[in-house]
Structure 1
Amino acid sequence: MVTLMTYAGAAAADAPGTRTGGVPLVPAGFEWPVCAECDGPMQFLAQVDLGGGLFSVFMCQNDPGMCDEWDATAGGNRAFVFGAGAVHAATPPGDGVTMLEEVCAVAFAPVDAGGYREATESWSRLTGRPAREVLGHTGTAAQWLQNDETPECGGCGRPMTFVVQLDEGHDHRTAINFGNGYGYGFRCEPCGEAAFLWQC
């Protein structure tokens, strides 16, 4: 079974739960992340409801391709696991590329399939909707485009647990920039650490 994340129309910029775009819901005292390479503020991509918390992803888009935003450890992206106190809408910095062009609500669709691509094709056939309206999936194994790059936790050194695989989006004009690939989010629940990378 693969749980697909599907496009469910426009959402408010500060909507709770799982969505792409908008502004992140964060705990008090949160500081907007900046790229370790260009020092510019990162773009907020998505938040995923963990059931009592949020997994949130940011990536540098100030000069696409110049910072190592695809790498889990180079500092060109950041992922966070926020607890139940993540209820404050963050204020984006006034400079840099910090927001996506669209805020998308997400619906979840369990599909009985052996993998993400198969599930996407099956969902598209059953619903008559374009496959591009699948925004990603949660809860099952990552479907790598290249080699398995599951990151290790910086705290305990163990392989992290898969959380979410993100597609670029339903509209190429407002899509996330993964070079026509996928983004992958991971967490270490005992340590509270998170990581993100993308492949194309």
Structure 2
Amino acid sequence: MNIKKIQDINKPAVLVFSLSEFFQSFEIPVPDLPQNVYDSPFYIYDISLDEVGPKFEDEEEISDEECDAGFSIIRTIWEEYIVRANTPGFKYTFKIIKDPETNSSSVGPVYGFAPGYDMYSAIENIARQGFMIFSWEEFWDKNLILTAELADEIETETADNSEYVQLLLKIDTESYMGGTSFGGLPVKDRNTPFEWPKCDCGTELQYQFKLRTSLGLEMVFMPNCGHDSSNKVVIIDADNLEFAYPEEKEVALRENYAASITNIKTKGSKLAKGYYPTYRHNVLGQISTDSLDIPSDNYPKCEGCDNKMHLAARFDGSSNRETSMTFGEGSSYLFDCMECKTAKFITKTS
């Protein structure tokens, strides 16, 4: 069964994307746009949701000229590109209305952009308001399968003790400075020194990812020098950031890509991951919930207060070295301590 993604068919959907994704996918030269417009997340949903669609309460004030520039470009994107998309994502997101007298079809969008938000915060905001989110890549995927039958299959299979879990899925766009992302560069407090974590041999550890939690940004580094060194986690506040640069980028950095958070109703990430066979290498991990069936005896203790640490996320092994957090077939776990503001990243290979 070739399934790329299962959506809740009763949940309205919103397409969320960046202008860089649009220009890159159609190989279009980037026009002269105000930077705050270019950096804003763009969104489109069906006109039937006009009164109940997602709200962006913390938008930044922009000028009339900037507003006109943003709506001009998204109007063009809709009229010349998205409305022509013959994909399951389009048919799911928008209601196609047929006129019985003329046999013509019509569809109505609501579209806009959210200045002041980054992609991470926009997606988080939309998901919090109860909408299903289509990434740019998913929306254009002609092999995407969305059926009521398969949604019912998940519902039946997980009728007892089921819950929504949060999967981290790889998306092909640049990482976001203030949100969860993988690869690329880590971040640091602006205008402050940053000591890059190193192996005992003196080689810089390879930066893996950053996860946004209630502690801030938890950044994980792993050895990439062939020595048996410990993983290290650096935690910083999620505000006033700039990128941090290593001395040896060939050793300390890897591919830059971001992650989206997708809610799946299931008993655990292994079951949810099973419904993503063609996306298997793009499932990066799962945000912690009670469904992460990890024996409490395996939880490490905080070295500061000696209390059992909190499980923040799990990352399953993959044969894809570009996305695997274990570089094997085991699992890795990110633990943290709210009281001491410390964290540990533990890898267990099978």
Q: What TM bracket, shorter-length normalisation? A: 0.7 to 0.9
CA distance in 2 between partners of 1:45 and 1:32 (Å): 13
CA distance in 1 between partners of 2:263 and 2:296 (Å): 26
Ranges in structure 1 where 5+ consecutive residues have no aligned partner: 69-75
Q: In the alignment, what sits opposite 1:11? A: 174
Q: Which amino acid aligns with 1:163?
A: A
Residues 84-120 of structure 1 deviation map (CA, whole Å, 9 limit, x = unaligned): 34612001123771011x1121011111111110121
CA distance in 2 between partners of 1:97 and 1:149 (Å): 31
> Do 1:46 and 1:56's aligned partners in 2 also have CA atoms closer than 8 Å?
yes
Residues 109-163 of structure 1 deviation map (CA, whole Å, 9 limit, x = unaligned): 11111111012123x27xxx4222211011325455x995321101000011111
Percent identity of paired positions between Structure 1 and Structure 2: 27
Q: In the alignment, what sits opposite 1:103? A: 256
**Structure whose CA Rg is larger:** 2
Alignment of 1:58-73 (within 5 A): 58-63=221-226, 66-68=227-229
The correspondence for 1:149, drawn from 298, 302, 305, is 298
> Do 1:181 and 1:198's aligned partners in 2 also have CA atoms closer than 8 Å?
yes
CA distance in 2 between partners of 1:104 and 1:26 (Å): 18
Name whichever structure is richer in strand by fraction.
1
Alignment of 1:130-141 (within 5 A): 130-141=279-290
Residues 58-90 of structure 1 deviation map (CA, whole Å, 9 limit, x = unaligned): 011111xx314xxxxxxx210122113461200
RMSD over aligned CA atoms reads 2.5
Per the alignment, in what secondary structure is the counterpart of residue 109 of structure 1?
A: strand
Structure with more contact order per residue of length (Cα contacts < 8 Å, sep ≥ 6): 1
CA distance in 2 between partners of 1:78 and 1:173 (Å): 19
Count of residues in correspondence between the two structures = 182
The correspondence for 2:184, drawn from 19, 22, 30, is 22
- Normalising to structure 1: TM-score of the pair? 0.79
Q: In the alignment, what sits opposite 1:91? A: 245
CA distance in 2 between partners of 1:92 and 1:163 (Å): 26
Q: Which amino acid aligns with 1:151?
A: P
Change (3 A) 1:86 1:151: farther
The correspondence for 1:33, drawn from 194, 197, 201, is 197
Name whichever structure is richer in helix by fraction.
2
Q: Which amino acid aligns with 1:120?
A: K
Change (3 A) 1:95 1:195: same
Q: In the alignment, what sits opposite 1:196? A: 345
Q: In the alignment, what sits opposite 1:174? A: 322
Say whether residues 1:82 and 2:243 are aligned partners: no
Change (3 A) 1:147 1:189: closer
Ranges in structure 2 where 5+ consecutive residues have no aligned partner: 1-163
CA distance in 1 between partners of 2:346 and 2:240 (Å): 23
